[in-house]
Amino acid sequence: MAVDPKQILGAFLTFSMFAMLANMIKEDHFDSPNANVKPNHPGPSDVQYEKIRITEPKRETLPKKSTGPWAEDGIELKPCWTRPAPKEAEQSGFVTFSLMHGPEYHISQIADAVVVARYLGATLVLPDIRGSTPGDKRNFDEVYNVEKFVEILDGVVKVTKDQPAEIAAGKIAVVKVPNRVTEDHIAEQIEPILRMKRNIRLVTYFPSVNMRKAEEKKDLDSVACLAMFGTLQLEPELQEVVDLMIERLRTSSRKSGSKFIAVDLRVDILEKKACQGRTESGRKSCYDALEIGVFLRKIGFQRDTTIYLTQSKWHDSLDALKEFFPKTYTKDSIIPGDKKHKFLGSGGFEIEKVLDFYICSQSDVFVPAISGLFYANVAGKRIASGKTQILVPSEVSSTSASAADFISSYVSKKNHLAHSCFC
């Protein structure tokens, strides 16, 4: 049968139109602006993909080999003591005191006051905080968390937040207390005064920097351990600032695949006469910026290591350390800008020391360029939390040495008071 050419042409045109229509439908479904709409069925979304793209480079920043003499943190220790049994105040009187000279002293002052109040059955009055200059005085809640303090001591000693009228109106007996006060001292020197006066004001003094492990257990050891390591927590805003500063330091160190070192180095202390002597082990009492730079390089820390200094603002004498480690910072350069005036500009020297104390307690490595109570009490907090990388500076004769040779004896010999409280 003959085929009509017109029919062939019509069929061809019809087929072409259907093909064009199908192609248009296909293009509209996959290539239209609405193609980004998420499907209802489960599966990897674009947001999840973006997260992968963001986190992927972090894996590349991890070093193929160690860039410094790092060691893993130890295991966080557990309290060796049992919580003191509940004890009601005997209404024998009130014990008042002030926190002074900075956080490294506050820990010991709190412990002594709690121990005295517990032994005497007295009520503890919440302390104020006094700085090193006249008139530098602030409330406890400006630095520490009051509610946590009272909660932790509940049943151990009675705490009143407000000074009783009888204390505010009258004279109060001032009693000097040696740090790590003993039961015998309380019974012989303090109890008779409280019985007579009913209200006393404690002033802790430090015959020496004694943070050595207790040789024998005493009845009040559990009270002292709880007070020293459990009662002082920063108030929320100040804790947030500390956390932000630490995160900035960690971010800087991650970029080079390393960790960050906190160095207690303050120019004003280095210039004092006490820094010219030597410790019992024969080491220098203090090390300057150049000496710290040489020490850290010789024991294996690389140029891109991040370092935090307890010095508040930059000083020309620190340039020698920055030449060794360009990523060296002070509080002034890493504190959040909106917090700088409150905590540095008008916060007072004691607030700056609080920032230093808690950053040094949580850093990956701590290096005390200055011996003393700051070093001892930072070491105590670090030991309790398992952060045992505490390197004590020394002159290093060889061009390279092992960091393990300079681990603090508080850690290597377990002779710190913290080892009486944690195990």
Q: What angle do CA 125, 211, 189 make, to 5 degrees?
A: 50
pLDDT in tens, 317-334: 999 999 999 999 999 999
CA distances from 159 to 79, 146, 174, 318 (A): 23, 10, 19, 45
Residues 382 and 366: beta-carbon distance below 8 Å:
yes
Q: Categorize the per-residue pLDDT at 189 as very low, low, confident or very high, splitting at 50, 70 and 90.
A: very high
pLDDT in tens, 81-131: 788 777 765 678 899 999 998 999 999 999 999 999 999 999 999 999 998
pLDDT at 342 over 90: no
Query: What's the rounded Cα separation, in Å, for the pair 393 and 89?
Result: 47
Provide the angle, in degrees to the nearest 10, between the axes of the packed helices 103-120 and 349-362. 90
Q: Categorize the per-residue pLDDT at 376 as very low, low, confident or very high, splitting at 50, 70 and 90.
A: very high
Q: Categorize the per-residue pLDDT at 217 as very low, low, confident or very high, splitting at 50, 70 and 90.
A: low
Residues 107 and 421: beta-carbon distance below 8 Å:
no
pTM summary value? 0.80
Q: What angle do CA 397, 400, 403 make, to 5 degrees?
A: 100
What's the confidence (pLDDT) of residue 212? Answer: 76
Segment holding 244, helix H or strand E: helix 236-254
User: Minimal CA–CA distance to 400: which of 257, 294, 307, 287?
Assistant: 294
pLDDT in tens, 122-166: 999 999 999 877 777 899 999 999 999 999 999 999 999 887 777
Residues 388 and 407: beta-carbon distance below 8 Å:
yes
pLDDT at 239 over 80: yes
pLDDT at 404 over 80: yes
Quote the tokens at residue 255. 């970029």
Architecture of the domain whose range is 236-421: 3-Layer(aba) Sandwich (3.40)
362: number of CA atoms within 13 Å, CB side? 15
Higher-confidence residue: 71 or 368?
368
Quote the tokens at residue 20. 């064009």
Q: Categorize the per-residue pLDDT at 378 as very low, low, confident or very high, splitting at 50, 70 and 90.
A: very high
Q: Where are the domains of the chain?
A: 94-230, 236-421
What's the confidence (pLDDT) of residue 402? Answer: 83
Question: Mean pLDDT throughout 281-303?
Answer: 90
- Mean pLDDT, the chain, whole residue set: 80
